[in-house]
Amino acid sequence: MNQFLLEKGNELVSRIGEHIFISATSLALGVLFAVPIGILLTRTKRIAAIVIGLTSALQTVPSLALLALMIPLFGVGQFPAIIALFIYSLLPILRNTYIGIKEVSEDYKDAAKGMGMTSFQSVLMVELPVAMPTIMAGIRLAAVYVVAWATLASYIGAGGLGDFIFSGLNLYRADLIFAGTIPVAIIALLADFSLGMLEKKLTPIALRGESE
């Protein structure tokens, strides 16, 4: 292990940085797009089934095939990998946001109206906080997916820890495989833990007991 770190330590740190960047960027884009769309779908329920069905269909496309489809459109490198992983992150976030907002009790909404809140204020100050445990569950699931699937991004030249894994498979070197898989598992666990802590901070105190 010490010999490996001496030889590959700098490269390992670089690959971890690339992996985190690809995963975090993809997840951030997923949240940025999927949460507002999920909220809007609760206001336009006629198209909700179509949009959620479309995102479900996109997620059934094999990850390697989707990455390969990115090459003619965007070339190779980190950008097409981020686009592909962004697409994969959409479904759990979108679906959980839609379900979470949809299932907010009418009592909360009526109370918001009684206080003179606009629809936007009701969503921002009442519905989102109440739905936060459900929404964050989708984000946490998407984070684990993205971190795991980012290993495949090395196939299109995006770098990341997948480079170690596939090099190890090609060269029959267990040390390279472990150098890729162990950090991926740790990153996924840390992402889930960090988002769990964020969920607790964003969830109203009165609702924390219900969500645990």
Is 186 domain-assigned? yes
Residue type, 186: I
Q: Which two tokens stand for residue 40?
A: 């809007």
Range of 43's domain?
Answer: 2-203
Asked if the model's pLDDT at residue 207 lies above 70, the reply is: no
Is 183 domain-assigned? yes
Q: How many structural domains comprise the chain?
A: 1
Burial environment of residue 120 by CB neighbours within 10 A (0 to 12, 13 to 18, 19 or more): exposed
Is 211 domain-assigned? no
Asked if the model's pLDDT at residue 188 lies above 70, the reply is: yes
Question: Which of the four pLDDT bands, split at 50, 70 and 90, describes residue 139?
Answer: very high
Is 14 domain-assigned? yes
Is 209 domain-assigned? no
DSSP 105: -
Looking at mean pLDDT, say which of 36-40, 55-59, 103-107 comes out highest. Answer: 36-40
Please, what is the average pLDDT of the chain?
Answer: 88
Count the helix, strand and coil residues of the chain and give each as a percent rounded to the nearest 5. 90, 0, 10
Is 148 domain-assigned? yes
Task: Give the model confidence (pLDDT) of 60-98 as tens digits.
Answer: 888 888 888 888 988 888 999 999 999 989 989 999 999
Q: What is the pTM of this model?
A: 0.89
Give percent above pLDDT 70 in the chain: 95
Q: Which two tokens stand for residue 150?
A: 């980012």
Q: How far apart are CA 157 and CA 75, in angstroms?
A: 10
Q: Which CATH number does the domain housing residue 116 bear?
A: 1.10.3720.10
- Look at residue 202 in the predicted model and tell me its pLDDT: 85
Q: How far apart are CA 164 and CA 64, in angstroms?
A: 17
Is 83 domain-assigned? yes
- Look at residue 27 in the predicted model and tell me its pLDDT: 96
Asked if 71 and 80 touch (Cβ cutoff 8 Å), the reply is yes
